[in-house]
Every structure is written in structure tokens, then in C-alpha cells.
Amino acid sequence: MPLEAPLPPVAERVAALNDRYRHHGATAVLERAFSDPEVGRVALVSSFGAESVVLLHLVSVLAPATPVLFIDTEMLFPETLAYQRQIAESLPLTGIRVIRADPAARAVADPDGTLHKANPDACCALRKTEPLERALEPFDAWITGRKRFQGSTRATIDFFEAETTSRIKVNPLAHWGREDLEDYIVNNRLPRHPLVAKGYPSIGCAPCTTPVAAGEDPRSGRWRGSEKTECGIHFINGKIVRGPIGAET
């Protein structure tokens, strides 16, 4: 039996995928992500945050056995943990996996739970980036809920991105707006995260998330008062991003 030809480099596959599916909608992009051999083995990473239920519902309809990775930083709002359990019970998702930091590493790096005050990047690396990277090792691609309207660091994202030289990131909702999300939630009678009604359009860890006033950037409540805008689990051009994106040098 002849050996299968190796896949082209990730950057080439991403360019081809974006060209091939440029005019498709979110559902079609998800369907292709699950079936296109150039995408490979796929997982969904979900924060079970303010808008997460839309993508979780779409995946539950199209491929309910998809691995769903939920990072429990052990600093989340109690409402988020309760919401995660509610969604897990109400949607037919059979592959939910709860990911946490290594207890030994956490005991050394953050024994008293105050690392987020002194070094929020290090806290995110310990509690989010490193656990997720371990969980994603078996996968060739992962699905995110990132959208262009969420802020300047996400304003140009495509359906498919080269996260690293070995893994693709899929953003099926990249072109959706707030109205699209609202319509989907209402039309499908999906439960909302309880903190949304209290002014939290973007929800992360409790110590690092504040309510957002009308007219503010939806992510302005994340790490308010600092230049930090991303937790570090997202890459651009293969580089980790935890703050504002400067000009290419």
C-alpha cells in the first residue's frame, strides 16, 4: 500500500482553506473543519463565557462527540462554573474535558494565589497557556469563538489561522456581529451566562475581569488599567499574544 503524501505546511493549508471557504458561513466552515483532511484532528476550546453557548450549540448539532476543552483556571467566577455545568447537562456534547494547571507547578509558582497581581502574564501562562498546550498536543487544529468585533487585536482574523507551524486555528464566527449572536441565542432558546446581564460582555478570571460600560470595547473589562488584552492562548503569525499588537518589524 503506498504511503500517504505528507500534508503541505500549515501556512499553505491555511491560505488554501481561507481561499476555498472565504464566502461560506459559520456552519459551513465548521462542517469543513470537521471533514476537510487538510484541517486534521480538531478540538473545540471553550471558556463557557458570555457568547460561548452559540459555538457550543453549533458543535453539538454538527458533531456532538467533538472534544471540548474547558480551562478551569481555578480563579473563575462561580457563575461561570455553574454555567459550564448547566450547558454540559443541556447540550448533547459527549467530549467535554476539564483542563487545569499541574498542581505541583501551581504550588511552586503561585502558592498563595496572588501571582495575578504581581505578574498577570505569568499567571495566565501557568493557569491557561501551559495546560491548554498540553491538552492540544494530540490535535492538528482547534476551534475558537473569536470574532472581529471583539476588539482591535481581533479586527482582521480569518476563518483559518496558522497558530504554529504544526497547528491550525479555526474561527467560524469571525464575521459574526453582536446582532447575529443575539438572534442565534434567542432563536435557539439558549441559556445565557448570568454575568452578561450584570455588564460583563467578556468574562475571564474573577480577579482580572470588571463590568463594561455602554460604548466601551467589549473586552475593555479584561485586565482593566493595563496594556494586556489577551491571556496568551492565542497566537498571531506563530507568536504568542498577551498585549497590544505593534507594527511588524
| Residue 247 resides in a domain | no
Question: How confident is the model over 175-198, as pLDDT tens digits?
Answer: 888 899 999 999 999 999 999 999
| Residue 129 resides in a domain | yes
The residue range of the domain holding 188 is 10-238
Most confident of 3-12, 45-54, 146-155, 214-223: 45-54
Known catalytic residues are: 231
| Residue 249 resides in a domain | no
| Residue 163 resides in a domain | yes
Q: Where do the DSSP E strands lie in the chain?
A: 42-46, 68-71, 96-99, 141-143, 160-162, 168-170, 235-236, 239-240
Give the global pTM. 0.84
Number of H helices, E strands in the chain: 9, 8
Instruction: Provide the residue type at 69 as one letter.
Output: L
Q: Give the count of domains, the chain.
A: 1
pLDDT at 216 over 90: no
Report the side by side order of strands in the sheet with 141-143: 96-99, 68-71, 42-46, 141-143, 168-170, 160-162
CATH number at residue 42: 3.40.50.620
| Residue 103 resides in a domain | yes
Q: Give me 174's grid cell.
A: 469571525
164-167 long-range contacts, Cβ below 8 Å, gap at least 24?
164/10, 164/235, 164/238, 165/9, 165/10, 165/11, 165/238, 166/10, 166/140, 167/10, 167/136, 167/139, 167/140, 167/141, 167/142
- Contact predicate 47/69, CB 8 Å: no
On average, the pLDDT of the chain sits at: 86
CA distances from 27 to 61, 145, 178, 180, 204 (A): 10, 13, 17, 13, 26
Q: What is the DSSP string of 104-156?
A: HHHHHH-TTS-HHHH-HHHHHIIIIIHHHHHHHTT-SEEE----GGG-GGGTT
Handedness of CA 166, 119, 98, 244 (dihedral sign): negative
For residue 4, the model assigns a pLDDT of 57
Q: CA–CA separation, 158 vs 147, rounded Å?
A: 9
| Residue 5 resides in a domain | no
With CA atoms as reference, report the closest residue to 127 among 75, 90, 81, 178: 75
Question: How confident is the model over 6-38, as pLDDT tens digits?
Answer: 778 899 999 999 998 888 999 999 998 999 888
Weakest mean pLDDT among 11-15, 30-34, 103-107, 154-158: 154-158
- Contact predicate 131/102, CB 8 Å: yes
Q: For residue 181, give the DSSP letter.
A: H
